[in-house]
Amino acid sequence: MRRAREVATGFADVGLSHAEEMLRRLSPEGREQARREREARARRQRRLLVRLVLAAVATLLAWAMLSALVAPGAALAVAAAVMLLLTMLIFMRAAPAVPGREALAEAALPALAEEAAVWIAAQRRGLPAPAVALTDTMNGRLEELAPRLDRLDPRSPAADAVRKLIAVELPDLVESWRSVPPSMRRTPGADGRSADDHLTNGLRLIDTELERANEQLAQGSRDSIAVHGRYLELKYDPDQGRRGP
């Protein structure tokens, strides 16, 4: 009987999670998240199209060069094989529709924020309401972070810290929560907090770190432009240089 009650509770929690997810999708926040997902898919499609065009151009150049060296038929066959190989490589490297954490680990630094936004969108189903609200906030921070990561040196300590936060600690937290049976996620543990509580608190900490990373990178950009502006003043405006800062 106890086992039957646990199973029934688990089904009830799953049903409630689906109902909550439907309500979230109909909410303004849910519509905004859907808009972000559509924009992310559009960006992926544009990148894919650009890569295919570049592959076609490379194939035409290869065919033109080979035509001067070998028979036209052989040059065309080699060019077709090159185009086929490039197309296969492009589609193999294209991100999956619902990326796993491998997509985060393998993403280049400029694309990390976008990959994280897509990954978070795929994880929203079943999350408790406070956690979903935090994912909405995190998506906004990731949008702000994306252009700053594009200018960040991938070998810098700041890049390592951001990558570890997004590609390691975030998926570790969500996967640990998902490993808890649904019927037990709201049950308080020995510390008085449930798995849902730990998830929400962990996401809040990650959100705070994303905010701090945004502020630090923005401050670095402001310092850089200030230094460059001062350099230009000293170099091209002697009067400004004599007046001092």
Domain ranges of the chain: 1-94, 99-245
Residue 245, pLDDT > 70, answer: no
When pLDDT is cut at 50, 70 and 90, the band that residue 7 belongs to is very low
Q: Three-state SS across 150-204?
A: HCCCCCCHHHHHHHHHHHHHHHHHHHHHHCCCHHHCCCCCCCCCCHHHHHHHHHH
Chain Cα centroid distance, residue 211: 15
When pLDDT is cut at 50, 70 and 90, the band that residue 19 belongs to is low
Q: What integer pLDDT is reported at residue 3 of this predicted model?
A: 47
When pLDDT is cut at 50, 70 and 90, the band that residue 9 belongs to is very low
**Interval 130-157 mean pLDDT:** 89
When pLDDT is cut at 50, 70 and 90, the band that residue 136 belongs to is confident
When pLDDT is cut at 50, 70 and 90, the band that residue 18 belongs to is low
Q: What integer pLDDT is reported at residue 199 of this predicted model?
A: 95
Each residue of 160-183: pLDDT tens digit?
999 999 999 999 999 999 999 998
Q: How far apart are CA 238 and CA 75, in angstroms?
A: 63
Q: What integer pLDDT is reported at residue 177 of this predicted model?
A: 94
Q: What integer pLDDT is reported at residue 13 of this predicted model?
A: 47
Each residue of 33-85: pLDDT tens digit?
666 667 766 777 787 788 888 888 888 888 888 887 888 778 788 888 888 88
Residue 232, pLDDT > 80, answer: no
